[in-house]
Amino acid sequence: MTHAPVNVTVTGAAGQIGYALLFRIASGQLLGTDTPVKLRLLEIPQAVKAAEGTALELQDGAFPLLAGVDIFDDAKQAFEGTNVALLVGARPRTKGMERGDLLEANGGIFKPQGEAINAGAADDIKVLVVGNPANTNALIAQAHAPDVPAERFTAMTRLDHNRALAQLAGKLGVSVADIKKLTIWGNHSATQYPDIFHAEVNGKNAAEAVNDQNWLENEFIPRVAKRGAEIIEARGASSAASAASAAIDHVHDWVNGTPAGDWTSMAIPSDGSYGVPEGLIASFPVTCSGGSYEIVQGLEINDFSRAKIDASVQELSDEREAVRKLGLV
């Protein structure tokens, strides 16, 4: 072991995603196999007992990298000294419900959590918001943490990125490892835009390799964008293990870097790149290195992509307007 333990706070620890996530964090997959972790679990009072049960199982995992587990029902305490915060706890969307319906209910969760991060988190805090509507929940938390650099607040579109990789690999009969430079733009919602125009498949342009605009427009994009609903329909519950896996990928790459010659997708506060209004937490193509990320610049955006990006960004602007009206940002 070469590092001091890193404090990782997970909210919604007793939920479905939490159950799939905590064991992978404890095993070293979040930060690396030379980094011990101390877990700080935040739950609502009614779910603390269940979180305690999970903590017993974590103990039984005998993970050499797990330096401790503490459980809280108070956000201020849970974020004290935190280096990495995974904000998973939220109300999951249920059958027939759109993410927009959840804005108000979740505002009441992410405002106090932003304040608690501002008050007590470590200087190097990195925040990933998973709980939906993830982009706007991240915006709310960030708005209440004025002393933390805004770029430390991110939201998860890595699951969408991974879903798009898998669909494209299936179409072309290749491995996901053969695909590079795919991008999710915009919101983690049905308006998101999975972009294959800059993606490469074994070094060849992916859109040219597919050469099927009908598949792109009428199968690939809707399949990826509505995959969450497809899983809910099939499983009777929202994606959990795949969401946990994507959260691991997101933080792992942020901390340890993206591979040379590739990029990933993260929802981050816009700096105005690609015409996305500044401050919106939107998904972009990013490279990570040395613990920070940068938006991939200079990509040519064709008319088809422009319209799709604009539509998703418009939804984010509307969500920001809605939470402004609620006094949440």
Ligand X SMILES: NC(=O)C1=CN([C@@H]2O[C@H](COP(=O)(O)OP(=O)(O)OC[C@H]3O[C@@H](n4cnc5c(N)ncnc54)[C@H](O)[C@@H]3O)[C@@H](O)[C@H]2O)C=CC1
Question: Does 188 participate in catalysis according to the annotation?
Answer: yes
Draw the binding track, 22-61, toward ligand X (x: CB under 6 A; -: no contact): --------------------xxx--x--------------
89 is in an annotated binding site: no
Query: C-alpha angle 197/198/203, rounded to 5°?
Result: 115
Residue 231 binds which of ligand OAA, ligand X, none (CB < 5-8 A, kind-dependent): ligand OAA
Number of residues that bind ligand OAA (CB under 6 A): 9
Q: Rule CB under 6 A: is residue 232 a binding residue for ligand X?
A: no
Least distance from ligand OAA to the Cβ atom of residue 95, Å: 10
Least distance from ligand X to the Cβ atom of residue 72, Å: 9
Least distance from ligand X to the Cβ atom of residue 97, Å: 10
- Using CB under 6 A as the binding rule, the residues of this chain from 43 to 82 that contact ligand OAA are none
**The binder of ligand X chosen from 84, 240, 268, 296 (CB under 6 A):** 240
99 is in an annotated binding site: yes
Q: Rule CB under 6 A: is residue 181 a binding residue for ligand X?
A: no
Residues annotated as binding site for NAD(+)? Answer: 12-18, 106, 113, 130-132
Supply the residues annotated as catalytic.
Answer: 188
Interface residues with ligand OAA (CB under 6 A) are: 92-93, 132, 159, 228-229, 231, 238-239
| Known binding-site residue numbers for substrate | 93, 99, 132, 163
